[in-house]
Amino acid sequence: MNELKHEIAAMIAHDGPMTLEQYMALCLSHPRFGYYMSRDPFGAAGDFITAPEISQMFGELIGVWATEAWRLSNSPLSSQLIELGPGRGTLMADALRVARISPEFLDAITVALVETSPVLRDAQRETLSSATAQVDWYDHFFQIPQGPAFIIANEFFDALPVRHYVKTVAGWRERLVGLDSSGALTFGLSEKIEAGLSLTAREGSIIEICPTAQSLIADIAQRLVVQGGVCLVIDYGYTQTSLGDSLQAVAHHSYADPLDAPGDADLTTHVDFAALARAAHSRGAKILGPVTQGYFLQQLGIERRAEALARKATPEQSDEIFAALDRLTGSSDSRYCMGDLFKVMAIAHPDTPDLPGFFE
């Protein structure tokens, strides 16, 4: 049994079963044993690989997009270029490199990174050591100084803890993590019936809700409506709210049991883009998309970028560039290709015009 499992089992023995949301939060963010707090999980040797780690083209196009979003928001001075959960800092480094072609943008922004993991903060500091912009770190979004905000969140929202409600004969009950007779972690259901859920569904159906994501998006939308700016959310997920359990545990590039080794596997869920859009819309923000990542990157000219890079590359590098292009935009195999599974949505100040990537 790993140390976090011991700690969680002791908590449950003392206080009774905990919600899935509490369990996920401990697995991901426990100060000592949380998954992100103690390791760098990215890359071929780690547990998974993200778009900015696949190719520099991804961060470069996001950088061009952010510059354009800033220009179309009337080029506000004293803006914050914010990234939520920047991983190794690769996206931001690639984005800031291409932003050098717009010195007025670089002059207007301060970079704000929201990151709770000390290990990944170190990685970000290293990756961004030669960046020309000022970079500041924060634990929480609400701590970032006022001003127009241009916010990027790639694979951030899927890492936030969720609640599950299961339909039983008596009504909806919340999924809990408890202990079985041998003292092992096991899933169970609350005694309490959840009165607020009025959905009609068959017995056994599951509703997945991410309260943290919804309240964060509402805070972001509120800030954008008052102070101006745009937020770009890129993640795997679905465009319509639907029933079902999307919780998955991944360790060393393969699926694991979410209760097996808490803190040692990444726990994620698919992002409910419709729920995020509703939360942002309720604060008066404009919503663009969601569109698929493949569509978004093609609109931003990823094919031309790949061809330009390939012209200066060896035949071997050129093959890698086109393999990365296929992986980022293709839809043939959804476990390998991200083009269809990943969605892109922007939340913006209501006066923002249509932005690149979202044109019909």
Interface residue with ligand SAH, options 116, 190, 227, 318 (CB under 6 A): 116
Under the binding rule (CB under 6 A), the answer on residue 147 touching ligand SAH is: no
Under the binding rule (CB under 6 A), the answer on residue 102 touching ligand SAH is: no
* Residues 6 or more apart whose Cβ sits within 8 Å of residue 224: 149, 230, 231, 285, 347, 348, 349
Under the binding rule (CB under 6 A), the answer on residue 214 touching ligand SAH is: no
* Residues 6 or more apart whose Cβ sits within 8 Å of residue 299: 356, 357, 358, 359
Bridge pairing between strands 109-114 and 135-138: parallel
294, 302 Cβ separation under 8 angstroms: no
Under the binding rule (CB under 6 A), the answer on residue 38 touching ligand SAH is: no
What is the rounded CA–CA span in Å between residue 66 and residue 338?
A: 21
Under the binding rule (CB under 6 A), the answer on residue 52 touching ligand SAH is: yes
**Taking the complex as a whole, how short is the minimal distance between the CB of residue 311 and ligand SAH, in angstroms?**
27
Segment lying near ligand SAH (by CB under 6 A), choices 2-10, 116-124, 250-258, 327-335: 116-124
Number of residues binding to ligand SAH, judged by CB under 6 A:
20
Under the binding rule (CB under 6 A), the answer on residue 161 touching ligand SAH is: no
Segment lying near ligand SAH (by CB under 6 A), choices 62-70, 115-123, 243-251, 306-314: 115-123
Task: For residue 260, give Cα distances in angstroms to 18, 99, 257, 268, 326.
Answer: 16, 44, 5, 15, 34
Under the binding rule (CB under 6 A), the answer on residue 50 touching ligand SAH is: yes
Bridge pairing between strands 266-268 and 248-251: antiparallel
Under the binding rule (CB under 6 A), the answer on residue 20 touching ligand SAH is: no
What is the rounded CA–CA span in Å between residue 5 and residue 34?
A: 11
52, 91 Cβ separation under 8 angstroms: yes
Under the binding rule (CB under 6 A), the answer on residue 156 touching ligand SAH is: yes
Under the binding rule (CB under 6 A), the answer on residue 155 touching ligand SAH is: yes
Under the binding rule (CB under 6 A), the answer on residue 70 touching ligand SAH is: no
Other beta carbons less than 10 A from residue 241's beta carbon: 15
Under the binding rule (CB under 6 A), the answer on residue 36 touching ligand SAH is: yes
Under the binding rule (CB under 6 A), the answer on residue 115 touching ligand SAH is: yes
Under the binding rule (CB under 6 A), the answer on residue 127 touching ligand SAH is: no
Task: For residue 75, give Cα distances in angstroms to 229, 311, 332.
Answer: 10, 34, 39
Other beta carbons less than 10 A from residue 185's beta carbon: 20
40, 119 Cβ separation under 8 angstroms: yes
**Taking the complex as a whole, how short is the minimal distance between the CB of residue 26 and ligand SAH, in angstroms?**
12
Under the binding rule (CB under 6 A), the answer on residue 123 touching ligand SAH is: no
Q: What is the DSSP letter of 228?
A: -
Under the binding rule (CB under 6 A), the answer on residue 296 touching ligand SAH is: no
Under the binding rule (CB under 6 A), the answer on residue 114 touching ligand SAH is: yes
Task: For residue 306, give Cα distances in angstroms to 62, 90, 221, 337, 340.
Answer: 15, 18, 34, 16, 19
Under the binding rule (CB under 6 A), the answer on residue 85 touching ligand SAH is: yes
- The residue number with the shortest CB distance to ligand SAH is 85
Under the binding rule (CB under 6 A), the answer on residue 47 touching ligand SAH is: no
Which residues of this chain interact with ligand SAH, rule CB under 6 A?
Answer: 28-29, 36, 42, 50, 52-53, 85-87, 91, 114-117, 120, 154-156, 159
